[in-house]
Amino acid sequence: MTTMRSLQGQGHHLSDTFVQLDVLNNHHAGIPPFGARMEAIGLSPLKPTAIDTLQVNIGKMCNQTCKHCHVDAGPDRKEMMTREIMEHCLDILRHHAIPTVDITGGAPEMHPEFRWFVGEIRKLGKHIIDRCNLTIIRANKKYHDLPDFLARHEVGVVSSLPHYVAGRTDRQRGDGVFEASIEALTLLNRVGYGQEDSSLQLNLVYNPTGAFLPGDQQQLEADFKRILKEQYQIDFNNLYAITNMPISRFLDYLLSSGNYQAYMEKLLESFNPAAAQGLMCRNTLSVSWDGYLYDCDFNQMLDMKVNTLAGPHIKDFDLEALTDREIRIDQHCYGCTAGAGSSCGGETV
Amino acid sequence: MEKTYYYPEDLKKFGSVREFQPELGEKFFNYYNSVFKEGALTQREKALIALAVSHAVQCPYCIDAYTSGSIEKGATEEQMMEAVHVATAIKGGAALVHGVQMMNKAKSILM
């Protein structure tokens, strides 16, 4: 498996969130402000409906350096959530009726406190999602028992597999990733994930391997199910089709490949008011490794902290103020409103 | 007059053909959109047929649109190239099958 350095590790200008926002706002022609589109359909200001999911990004370290990664994660990223911040998250979960905790990274399993954190969340009776890159399970002996651990704690697994053609997956996620992912999926199936008679959920994420939008989620799911079963005897529950956001490394790809303008136009052309209604930022709250709160994981990566009077840090958590906040939007939000919509759980329409 | 017949950005202006004849333009686009809806053929199968036809009629706008369209609908590179070979086989075959006509004529006038 080969890896490249993160944008931050390269000292790339796009690792600066101000530069990304400047590109998104000023480096294309004819893309109206996202806010104006939302205003035209009566969704301005954009307000939350509830907080159903606490998405906790526990660190940016990853064993992969995927070309489209909006986190700019990689082996060279060392940011990790402290136990103190995790305790704050647990405290909030203990005192509020937030049913789901979505743990992400980086590769969250690389965090030394990952298993402790999962165990503590389970004690609170919350549903847990682990955004697992699959290859981590095979990356090192110490992770080989992850399928058993996750199954024991009834953790739902959500894993990226951008294509059932090995070359397509490897071009985005690194050489050898497809083969290692198939091995990991086999191990997850073996402990009951994705099986008909099991409650252990294994959901795959399809995201386009280039400058195009995802096709119909149902059709893609049917293709993935048929081909993964026929060729690799792999089962899974659902496929989530997710649009690539024009930020971070995917933004770098769009700019360097000359696809940026056309991609933004495509997102604009595909703006769907129904998808705007169901935006995930309306029922999710995202926490960064250093404890700041964001409307979504993408706003987190653009360092657009929540806009509340109570303050943007988890130490300032105030459910009432957060439920009443105005969600921050910018040009990247066109990614979540295109076509059938896009969220961490796939289509929204 | 433009210096070239083809501009990639003109693809996005396709809908503007309604400007000179709105009624027929509207009818065409309604028909066009219905054709590409999921039916007895999947949207991907239709996109691949469109890609093959695009090559047969050598329409750069159509090749642009249906390469993206086929990929979005989940087609692989291999499937897309096979579609192009189908177009090639039919176009080549169409020329070659007329060889029979040539042979018939030749045989009719040769001793």
Query: Which residue of chain A has the CA closest to B42?
Result: A219
Query: Is B34 among the domain residues?
Result: no
Pairing of strands A284-287, A293-294: antiparallel
Decide if B73 and A216 are in contact by the 8 Å CB cutoff.
yes
Decide if A213 and B72 are in contact by the 8 Å CB cutoff.
yes
Q: What is the pLDDT of residues A19-54, one digit of tens each?
A: 999 999 998 778 999 999 999 999 999 999 999 999
Higher pLDDT, A4 or A76: A76
What total of structural domains would you count in chain B? 1
Query: Is B100 among the domain residues?
Result: yes
Query: Is A345 among the domain residues?
Result: no
Query: Is B62 among the domain residues?
Result: yes
Decide if A212 and B68 are in contact by the 8 Å CB cutoff.
yes
Q: How far is B89 from chain A (nearest CA, A)?
A: 26
Query: Is B35 among the domain residues?
Result: no
The fraction of chain A above a pLDDT of 90, given in percent, is 95
Mutate to test the interface with B, among A206, A223, A225, A259 (most CBs of B within 10 A): A223
CATH number at residue A308: 3.20.20.70
Query: Is B19 among the domain residues?
Result: no
Query: Is B78 among the domain residues?
Result: yes
Cα angle at A272 between A102 and A252, to 5 degrees?
65
Query: Is A343 among the domain residues?
Result: no
Query: Is A344 among the domain residues?
Result: no
> Is residue A142 helix, strand or coil?
helix
Decide if B71 and A210 are in contact by the 8 Å CB cutoff.
yes
What total of structural domains would you count in chain A? 1
B65 with B94: CB under 8 angstroms? no
Q: How many CB atoms lie within 10 A of CB A323?
A: 14
Q: How far is A69 from chain B (nearest CA, A)?
A: 20
Q: What is the pLDDT of residues A162-203, one digit of tens each?
A: 999 999 999 999 999 999 999 999 999 999 999 999 999 999
Query: Is A349 among the domain residues?
Result: no
- Under the banding of pLDDT at 50, 70 and 90, the label for residue A128 is very high
CATH number at residue B63: 1.20.1290.10
Contact B72/A at CB under 8 A: yes
Query: Is B96 among the domain residues?
Result: yes
Which two three-digit tokens encode residue A206? 């399809």
A210, A219, A265: residue with CB nearest B74: A219
**Parent domain of B92:** 41-109
Query: Is A71 among the domain residues?
Result: yes
A289 with A104: CB under 8 angstroms? no
**Parent domain of A140:** 7-337
- Under the banding of pLDDT at 50, 70 and 90, the label for residue B87 is very high
